Amino acid sequence: MKITNKLVILTSLLAFLACDDDLLTVQDPARYTSPDLDGALDAVANGVEGDLYATHDGFVAYSALASDEYQHTGTWAGWDDVDHGRFKYGTAATDGIMNGYLRVRWFAKSTKERLENVLGTAAATDPMMAQIQTTKAWALLMMGEGFCEGVIEENGDVVTDVQMTTAAVAELTTAMATAQAAGATAYYNWALAGRARANLWLGNWDAALADAKAVPEGFVHYAQYSGNSSRQQNWIVFVATIGYNNAGGVREKWWPMVDTDAEMLIDPYSGQLDSRVEIWHDPGTIGVDGKTDYYSQWKYKDGEADVPMTHSDEMKLIEAEVYYQNGNLAGAQTVLNGLRATVGLDALPITTDASVVMEYLLHETFAELWVEGRRMSYLHRWGKTADIFRPLNDAENLRPLPRPTKFPMSYSEATYNTNIDNALSARCLPMSGN
- Give pTM, 2 decimals: 0.92
Residue 30, pLDDT > 70, answer no
Burial class (CB in 10 A: 0-12, 13-18, 19+), 231: middle
Q: Is there a contact between 97 and 59 (Cβ–Cβ < 8 Å)? A: yes
- What's the rounded Cα separation, in Å, for the pair 404 and 208? 27
| Helix 375-382 and helix 354-368, axial crossing angle in degrees, nearest 10 | 160
Q: Is there a contact between 93 and 62 (Cβ–Cβ < 8 Å)? A: yes
- What's the rounded Cα separation, in Å, for the pair 305 and 233? 8
- What's the rounded Cα separation, in Å, for the pair 431 and 434? 9
The percentage of the chain sitting over the pLDDT mark of 90, rounded to a whole number, equals 87
- What's the rounded Cα separation, in Å, for the pair 6 and 128? 14
Q: What is the pLDDT of residues 324-336, one digit of tens each?
A: 999 999 999 999 9
- Closest Cα partner for 195 from 107, 310, 109, 112? 310
Is there a cis peptide before residue 402, judged by omega within 30 degrees of 0? yes
Residues 6+ apart with CB under 8 A from 225: 1, 2, 53, 57, 232, 233, 234, 303, 304, 305, 306, 307
Tell me the CATH number of domain 5-25+34-422, given options 1.10.8.60, 1.25.40.390, 2.30.30.240, 3.40.1110.10. Answer: 1.25.40.390
Higher-confidence residue of 40 and 146: namely 146
- What's the rounded Cα separation, in Å, for the pair 55 and 354? 37
Residue 248, pLDDT > 70, answer yes
At 48, the amino acid letter reads V
Query: Which strand (E) or helix (H) includes residue 142?
Result: helix 127-146
- Closest Cα partner for 221 from 199, 201, 198, 192? 192
Residues 6+ apart with CB under 8 A from 60: 236, 307, 371, 372, 373
Ordered by start, the domain boundaries in the chain are 5-25+34-422
- Closest Cα partner for 82 from 93, 96, 68, 98? 93
Average pLDDT over residues 256-262: 98
Average pLDDT over residues 118-131: 97
- pLDDT for position 229: 80
Burial class (CB in 10 A: 0-12, 13-18, 19+), 283: exposed
- pLDDT for position 396: 73
